[in-house]
Amino acid sequence: MLNIVLFGPPGAGKGTQAAKLVEKYNLYHLSTGDVFRYNISNGTELGVLAKNYMDKGQLVPDKVTIKMLESEVEKHPEANGFIFDGFPRTDVQADALEAFLSKRNTEVKVMLALDVDEDELVKRLLLRGKESGRADDANEEVIRKRIQVYNRQTAVVADYYSAKNKYIKVDGVGDLKEITNRLFNAIESI
């Protein structure tokens, strides 16, 4: 199984690049943000809960997020592997993922971290807010809050994988195809 954590701040291009990795490696793309948004648009209990946090740019609590992630993985026993996009976002989530995968005799093979500077992130997110109508992209204050949450709570997850020699930083600025090729090369180098 090829399990990849696609990492990076909001607006780094995780969703866009995940689609390219899915095509090439036949993996299942699991974006926790997408699952929350799906639940919000369907008015589920989970969606109502998640919306409170997402609208403020805060993280949904670990317990809820981990339970949701595990149930999503369990829905796809046929998968060749997973691209985890937007998960793990805390050390607690990283520990939970490791324990969960090891029970299934598998593991995270690599964390690919898209590196993009903050000004570029804000620019991209404001544009996405206009184009996609995503509520948390429409407001610069919420965008800055999400980047702050990333820097304070999520960036440390890179150290978690770095300590296991599973961390690869990839330049996330430039031509989309070129970034995709950088990711392919990183995977081939494992």
Structure-token pair, residue 144? 């800055």
Beta strand spans in 71-181 (E) = 82-85, 110-115, 167-171
User: Under the rule (CB under 6 A), what is the footprint of ligand AMP?
Assistant: 10, 32-33, 36, 53-54, 57-60, 65, 86-87, 89, 93, 136, 146
Cis amide linkage into residue 88, ω under 30° from 0: yes
Nearer to ligand AMP among residue 124 and residue 146 (C-beta): 146
Nearer to ligand AMP among residue 58 and residue 162 (C-beta): 58
Smallest distance from the beta carbon of 160 to ligand AMP, in angstroms?
A: 14
Structure-token pair, residue 103? 């029970």
Distance CA 181, CA 131 (A): 26
Q: Which residue of the chain is nearest ligand AMP when measured via CB?
A: 33
Residues that are catalytic: 14, 89, 128, 134, 146
Smallest distance from the beta carbon of 39 to ligand AMP, in angstroms?
A: 11
Distance CA 148, CA 142 (A): 10
Nearer to ligand AMP among residue 18 and residue 27 (C-beta): 18
